[in-house]
Amino acid sequence: MQTPGVSTSTSGGISDKITVGLQDMYSYLLWPIIILVIIALIPPIVMLVKHIRNKNKIVTEDYVAPVKALDINSAKQKYTGLIASIVEKYNSGKLSDKHAYQQLSKVVRSFVFDATGIKVQNYTLSEIKTLNIPKLYYLVDECYEPEFSEDNKGNIVETCEKARQVIVEWN
């Protein structure tokens, strides 16, 4: 029987010469390093792929939390009270037109969030339009120009009344 790396010569059953070829000590070291590097790279690659997939997902719907009737009624009372406060501050001269519109927009957006769970606080007007809530869209649209313009082109008292109606009639 012949073993690899061993050369034997026999004459009459006696071994004349035995040679053993030794491997270079670094020849086995390269494969374990390559395997360890590959194993070490797997988790970061998996995390990168997951990150890219999540980043490229298109969110088509926001989560709409169910709201109990009692909660919606208390929310309506809370936000109509905040609107009345805006009108009162405006009429007493404590709020400018621009600041009144800004506060009204914030109140209406906060109400919609409390009522539906949709985070409209940071939505643009075009994003609000995609929600398919026309009363909200027209109300925010009415606030947009006076809210961001230096010129007063709106009637805050009338807009507050429209906002109060939207909240009161909210289902």
Please give the mean pLDDT across all residues of the chain.
80
Write out the residue range of the structural domain in which residue 127 sits.
69-168
Is residue 104 domain-shared with residue 129, that is, in the same domain?
yes
* Residue 100 domain flag: yes
**pLDDT at position 49:** 87
Is residue 46 domain-shared with residue 74, that is, in the same domain?
no
Q: What is the pLDDT along the chain (171 residues), one digit of tens a residue?
A: 555 555 555 555 555 677 777 766 666 677 778 888 999 999 999 998 888 887 766 554 555 555 555 588 888 999 999 999 999 999 999 988 888 988 999 999 999 888 888 888 888 888 888 888 888 888 888 888 777 777 667 788 999 999 999 999 987
Max CA pair span of the chain:
124
| Type and span of the H or E element at 164 | helix 156-168
Is residue 83 domain-shared with residue 159, that is, in the same domain?
yes
Measured CA distances, 116 to 46, 132, 142, 153, 167 (Å): 36, 13, 21, 31, 12
Measured CA distances, 2 to 9, 21, 82 (Å): 11, 14, 96
Of 86, 91, 100, the residue nearest 154 (C-alpha): 100
| Torsion of Cα atoms, 163 then 104 then 139 then 110, to 10° | -90
Is residue 112 domain-shared with residue 76, that is, in the same domain?
yes
Of 67, 87, 69, the residue nearest 164 (C-alpha): 87
Rounded to whole angstroms, how far apart are CA atoms 68 and 62?
19
**pLDDT at position 146:** 77
**pLDDT at position 20:** 72
* Residue 10 domain flag: no
Is residue 163 domain-shared with residue 94, that is, in the same domain?
yes
Q: Coil, strand, or helix at residue 152?
A: coil
Residue in the structure block whose two tokens are 């405006």: 90
Is residue 161 domain-shared with residue 120, that is, in the same domain?
yes
Q: What does the angle CA 145 – CA 132 – CA 85 come to, to the nearest 5 degrees?
A: 50
Find out whether 18 and 8 touch, Cβ atoms under 8 Å.
yes
* Residue 80 domain flag: yes
Residue in the structure block whose two tokens are 């109140």: 107
